[in-house]
Amino acid sequence: MATPHNGAEKGDFAKTVLMPGDPLRAKFIADNFLTDVKCVNEVRGMLGFTGKYEGKDVSVMGHGMGIPSIGIYTYELYNFYDVENIIRVGSTGGLQDDVNVMDIIFVQGAHTDSNYGFQYGLPGTFAPTASFDLLEKAVAVAKEKGVRYHVGDVLSSDAFYKKCNESELYKKYGALGVEMETPALYMNAAEAGKKALTILTVSDHLFKSEELSALERQTGFTDMMEIALKTAIQL
Protein backbone atom coordinates (compact mmCIF):
# COMPACT_ATOMS: atom_id res chain seq x y z
CA MET A 1 0.00 0.00 0.00
CA ALA A 2 2.34 2.71 -1.25
CA THR A 3 1.59 6.43 -0.81
CA PRO A 4 2.76 9.37 -2.96
CA HIS A 5 5.73 9.73 -0.57
CA ASN A 6 6.45 6.18 0.55
CA GLY A 7 6.97 3.07 -1.58
CA ALA A 8 6.70 0.62 1.33
CA GLU A 9 3.93 -1.93 1.59
CA LYS A 10 1.79 -2.36 4.68
CA GLY A 11 3.72 -4.49 7.14
CA ASP A 12 7.12 -3.28 5.96
CA PHE A 13 7.53 -0.98 8.96
CA ALA A 14 7.96 -2.14 12.55
CA LYS A 15 5.63 -0.80 15.24
CA THR A 16 8.37 1.60 16.36
CA VAL A 17 10.20 3.88 13.91
CA LEU A 18 13.23 6.07 14.63
CA MET A 19 13.24 9.20 12.47
CA PRO A 20 16.22 11.47 11.86
CA GLY A 21 15.81 14.44 9.56
CA ASP A 22 18.70 13.37 7.30
CA PRO A 23 18.02 10.17 5.31
CA LEU A 24 21.76 9.46 5.35
CA ARG A 25 21.59 9.40 9.14
CA ALA A 26 18.81 6.81 8.79
CA LYS A 27 21.16 4.74 6.61
CA PHE A 28 23.96 5.18 9.17
CA ILE A 29 21.70 3.81 11.93
CA ALA A 30 20.60 0.88 9.76
CA ASP A 31 24.17 0.05 8.70
CA ASN A 32 25.74 0.32 12.15
CA PHE A 33 23.07 -0.77 14.63
CA LEU A 34 20.55 -3.06 12.91
CA THR A 35 20.81 -6.61 11.59
CA ASP A 36 18.76 -8.34 8.88
CA VAL A 37 18.18 -4.95 7.29
CA LYS A 38 15.75 -4.38 4.43
CA CYS A 39 15.39 -1.07 2.59
CA VAL A 40 11.66 -0.37 2.47
CA ASN A 41 11.56 3.12 0.97
CA GLU A 42 13.62 5.16 -1.48
CA VAL A 43 10.94 7.54 -2.81
CA ARG A 44 12.29 11.12 -3.07
CA GLY A 45 15.52 9.85 -1.50
CA MET A 46 13.83 9.58 1.91
CA LEU A 47 15.45 6.30 2.87
CA GLY A 48 13.61 3.89 5.15
CA PHE A 49 14.86 0.61 6.60
CA THR A 50 13.54 -2.19 8.79
CA GLY A 51 15.78 -4.56 10.71
CA LYS A 52 16.42 -6.00 14.13
CA TYR A 53 18.04 -4.51 17.21
CA GLU A 54 18.83 -7.01 19.96
CA GLY A 55 16.45 -9.42 18.22
CA LYS A 56 13.47 -7.04 18.02
CA ASP A 57 12.04 -5.38 14.92
CA VAL A 58 12.82 -1.68 14.57
CA SER A 59 12.51 0.67 11.61
CA VAL A 60 14.35 3.87 10.81
CA MET A 61 13.42 6.46 8.20
CA GLY A 62 14.32 10.05 7.37
CA HIS A 63 11.71 12.78 7.73
CA GLY A 64 13.32 15.75 5.98
CA MET A 65 13.51 19.35 7.19
CA GLY A 66 10.68 21.34 8.70
CA ILE A 67 7.22 20.81 10.11
CA PRO A 68 5.45 20.26 6.74
CA SER A 69 7.88 17.47 5.80
CA ILE A 70 7.79 15.54 9.08
CA GLY A 71 4.04 16.17 9.16
CA ILE A 72 3.55 14.21 5.94
CA TYR A 73 5.83 11.29 6.77
CA THR A 74 4.64 10.76 10.34
CA TYR A 75 0.97 11.09 9.37
CA GLU A 76 1.41 8.33 6.80
CA LEU A 77 3.32 6.07 9.18
CA TYR A 78 0.71 6.42 11.92
CA ASN A 79 -2.38 6.23 9.72
CA PHE A 80 -1.42 4.07 6.71
CA TYR A 81 1.31 1.76 8.05
CA ASP A 82 0.02 0.97 11.57
CA VAL A 83 3.10 2.42 13.27
CA GLU A 84 2.48 2.90 16.99
CA ASN A 85 5.58 4.78 18.19
CA ILE A 86 7.83 7.33 16.50
CA ILE A 87 11.03 8.58 18.09
CA ARG A 88 12.59 11.56 16.35
CA VAL A 89 16.39 11.58 16.67
CA GLY A 90 17.54 15.00 15.57
CA SER A 91 19.78 17.97 16.19
CA THR A 92 19.13 21.27 17.92
CA GLY A 93 20.74 24.61 18.57
CA GLY A 94 21.25 25.14 22.28
CA LEU A 95 19.76 28.16 24.07
CA GLN A 96 20.45 27.85 27.80
CA ASP A 97 23.84 28.62 29.34
CA ASP A 98 24.09 25.16 30.93
CA VAL A 99 23.37 23.39 27.63
CA ASN A 100 26.52 22.39 25.72
CA VAL A 101 27.27 20.95 22.30
CA MET A 102 26.78 17.12 22.31
CA ASP A 103 24.39 17.28 25.29
CA ILE A 104 21.15 15.35 24.78
CA ILE A 105 17.73 16.98 25.14
CA PHE A 106 14.54 15.00 25.74
CA VAL A 107 11.71 17.18 24.46
CA GLN A 108 8.85 17.35 26.92
CA GLY A 109 6.94 20.03 25.00
CA ALA A 110 7.38 22.21 21.93
CA HIS A 111 6.66 25.92 21.64
CA THR A 112 6.11 26.91 18.03
CA ASP A 113 5.48 29.76 15.62
CA SER A 114 3.95 27.27 13.15
CA ASN A 115 0.31 27.26 12.12
CA TYR A 116 0.27 23.46 11.73
CA GLY A 117 -2.28 23.03 14.53
CA PHE A 118 -4.84 25.25 12.77
CA GLN A 119 -6.05 22.27 10.73
CA TYR A 120 -7.55 20.63 13.82
CA GLY A 121 -10.00 23.46 14.42
CA LEU A 122 -9.34 23.43 18.15
CA PRO A 123 -10.28 26.51 20.17
CA GLY A 124 -7.38 28.17 21.98
CA THR A 125 -3.79 27.01 21.63
CA PHE A 126 -2.91 23.32 21.42
CA ALA A 127 0.19 22.36 23.46
CA PRO A 128 2.15 19.56 21.73
CA THR A 129 3.77 17.27 24.30
CA ALA A 130 5.67 13.97 24.36
CA SER A 131 4.21 10.61 25.34
CA PHE A 132 5.28 10.29 28.97
CA ASP A 133 5.99 6.57 28.95
CA LEU A 134 8.41 6.97 26.03
CA LEU A 135 10.00 9.96 27.75
CA GLU A 136 10.33 8.09 31.04
CA LYS A 137 11.91 5.02 29.40
CA ALA A 138 14.37 7.09 27.36
CA VAL A 139 15.50 9.15 30.35
CA ALA A 140 16.06 5.93 32.33
CA VAL A 141 18.31 4.62 29.53
CA ALA A 142 20.25 7.90 29.52
CA LYS A 143 20.79 7.63 33.26
CA GLU A 144 22.13 4.08 32.86
CA LYS A 145 24.53 5.24 30.14
CA GLY A 146 25.72 8.15 32.26
CA VAL A 147 25.36 10.71 29.45
CA ARG A 148 24.78 14.40 29.99
CA TYR A 149 21.12 15.23 29.30
CA HIS A 150 18.34 17.75 29.88
CA VAL A 151 14.55 17.34 29.93
CA GLY A 152 12.32 20.26 29.00
CA ASP A 153 10.78 22.32 26.24
CA VAL A 154 12.18 23.57 22.95
CA LEU A 155 11.24 26.20 20.40
CA SER A 156 10.21 24.74 17.03
CA SER A 157 10.30 27.29 14.25
CA ASP A 158 9.13 27.26 10.64
CA ALA A 159 12.07 29.41 9.53
CA PHE A 160 15.80 28.69 9.73
CA TYR A 161 16.85 32.10 8.42
CA LYS A 162 14.75 34.64 10.35
CA LYS A 163 14.40 38.40 10.01
CA CYS A 164 13.06 38.61 13.57
CA ASN A 165 14.82 36.21 15.96
CA GLU A 166 12.91 35.40 19.14
CA SER A 167 15.56 33.03 20.57
CA GLU A 168 16.51 35.43 23.38
CA LEU A 169 12.87 35.61 24.51
CA TYR A 170 12.39 31.85 24.51
CA LYS A 171 15.69 31.42 26.33
CA LYS A 172 14.31 33.72 29.05
CA TYR A 173 11.24 31.51 29.35
CA GLY A 174 13.23 28.31 29.70
CA ALA A 175 13.41 26.76 26.22
CA LEU A 176 16.45 24.47 26.05
CA GLY A 177 17.02 24.62 22.31
CA VAL A 178 15.57 25.46 18.93
CA GLU A 179 14.62 22.98 16.17
CA MET A 180 12.08 22.70 13.33
CA GLU A 181 9.96 19.54 13.52
CA THR A 182 8.59 18.34 16.87
CA PRO A 183 5.13 20.00 16.98
CA ALA A 184 3.90 18.18 13.87
CA LEU A 185 5.12 14.85 15.25
CA TYR A 186 3.45 15.37 18.61
CA MET A 187 0.24 16.72 17.09
CA ASN A 188 -0.02 13.85 14.60
CA ALA A 189 0.53 11.35 17.40
CA ALA A 190 -2.18 12.96 19.53
CA GLU A 191 -4.67 13.00 16.63
CA ALA A 192 -3.96 9.35 15.77
CA GLY A 193 -3.92 8.14 19.39
CA LYS A 194 -0.30 7.01 18.98
CA LYS A 195 2.97 7.74 20.85
CA ALA A 196 5.83 10.11 20.06
CA LEU A 197 9.08 11.40 21.51
CA THR A 198 11.80 13.71 20.26
CA ILE A 199 15.39 13.17 21.38
CA LEU A 200 17.88 15.80 20.25
CA THR A 201 21.63 16.22 20.31
CA VAL A 202 22.94 19.77 20.59
CA SER A 203 24.89 20.42 17.39
CA ASP A 204 25.56 24.14 17.92
CA HIS A 205 24.67 26.93 20.34
CA LEU A 206 23.00 30.23 19.57
CA PHE A 207 24.83 32.05 22.36
CA LYS A 208 28.20 30.27 22.33
CA SER A 209 30.78 29.71 19.58
CA GLU A 210 30.27 25.94 19.48
CA GLU A 211 29.10 23.85 16.52
CA LEU A 212 29.53 20.49 14.78
CA SER A 213 30.24 19.86 11.10
CA ALA A 214 27.64 18.28 8.79
CA LEU A 215 29.58 14.99 8.89
CA GLU A 216 29.74 15.06 12.69
CA ARG A 217 25.98 15.61 12.81
CA GLN A 218 25.43 12.71 10.41
CA THR A 219 27.58 10.15 12.22
CA GLY A 220 28.44 11.47 15.67
CA PHE A 221 25.16 11.17 17.55
CA THR A 222 25.66 7.58 18.66
CA ASP A 223 24.60 8.11 22.30
CA MET A 224 21.25 9.50 21.14
CA MET A 225 20.83 6.67 18.63
CA GLU A 226 21.55 3.99 21.21
CA ILE A 227 19.17 5.59 23.72
CA ALA A 228 16.41 5.65 21.11
CA LEU A 229 17.04 2.05 20.08
CA LYS A 230 17.12 0.75 23.65
CA THR A 231 13.88 2.65 24.28
CA ALA A 232 12.34 1.19 21.12
CA ILE A 233 12.90 -2.44 22.13
CA GLN A 234 11.02 -1.83 25.40
CA LEU A 235 7.81 -0.89 23.56
Among the options 22, 113, 204, 223, which is catalytic? 204
| 167 neighbors 156 (Cβ within 8 angstroms) | no
**Which residues neighbour 118 within 8 Å (Cβ) at sequence distance 6 or greater?**
none
Separation CA 23–CA 1 (nearest Å): 21
| CA-wise closest residue to 144 among 230, 48, 220 | 230
Element containing residue 214 per DSSP (H, E): helix 214-219
Distance CA 231, CA 46 (A): 23
The sign one gets for the Cα dihedral 204, 206, 210, 213 is positive
In this structure, how many other beta carbons lie within 10 angstroms of the beta carbon of residue 211? 14
Active site residue 133: no
Q: Which positions are annotated as active-site residues?
A: 204
